[in-house]
Amino acid sequence: MPTLIVLRHSKAASPLGIADIDRPLAPRGRKDAGLVGEELRAANRVPDRVICSTSLRTRQTLDGLALDAPVDFESRVYDNDAEEILDLLRGQDDDADTLLLVGHNPSMQQLVLGLTGAGADHFPTSATAVIEFDGGWDDLWTGVGRLVSLWTPRG
């Protein structure tokens, strides 16, 4: 049974004069990313593969998780369109049972709500949703997922 872990990047800083794609994590974001990695390992939810936005804050979030998995950095995740991200997920090889997606709102929240029909009205930084579904990645369509867990660390 495939599992999709949807993670919104950890808390970012907003320094003046820095382009959005280059915004780094804030100190709380670095701490929260470590807590997410600990939780994933404790729950035995270490991914087989990761798809990560190309932004600095998502890459730093991924580094903070300290997980050992192959990573694809994908600009379509930074572009923040939930339908395009869903198409990207459908194109994944079935050799990955557990896939971690590290991205941005609003598309991460829209993706979780669309796949499961469940979730919170708010998907804050470091929010982590674990979704299971039947079939292969090409069977990932609106409404087919089951929300197994949804949590947010606060460091």
The pTM assigned to this predicted structure is 0.96
Secondary structure class of 114 (helix, strand, coil):
helix
What is the band of 1 on the pLDDT scale with cuts at 50, 70, 90? confident
d(CA 42, CA 49): 18
pLDDT digits (tens, 9 = 90+) for 47-82: 999 999 999 999 999 999 999 999 999 999 998 889
User: How many CA atoms lie within 13 Å of 127's alpha carbon, on the beta-carbon side?
Assistant: 20
Please name the amino acid found at residue 2: P
CATH class belonging to 1-13+21-94: alpha beta
Both tokens of residue 93? 């090889």
Let me know the angle formed at the C-alpha of 139 by 78 and 124, rounded to the nearest 5 degrees. 35
Check residue 45 and give its pLDDT. Answer: 96
How many helical (H) and strand (E) elements, i.e. helices and strands, does the chain have? 5, 6
End-to-end CA distance of the chain: 32
50: helix, coil or strand?
strand
User: In the predicted model, is pLDDT for residue 154 greater than 80?
Assistant: no
Element (H, E) at 37: helix 27-42
95-144 pLDDT, tens digit each: 999 999 999 999 999 999 999 998 767 899 999 999 999 999 999 999 99
What confidence score (pLDDT) does residue 113 get? Answer: 95
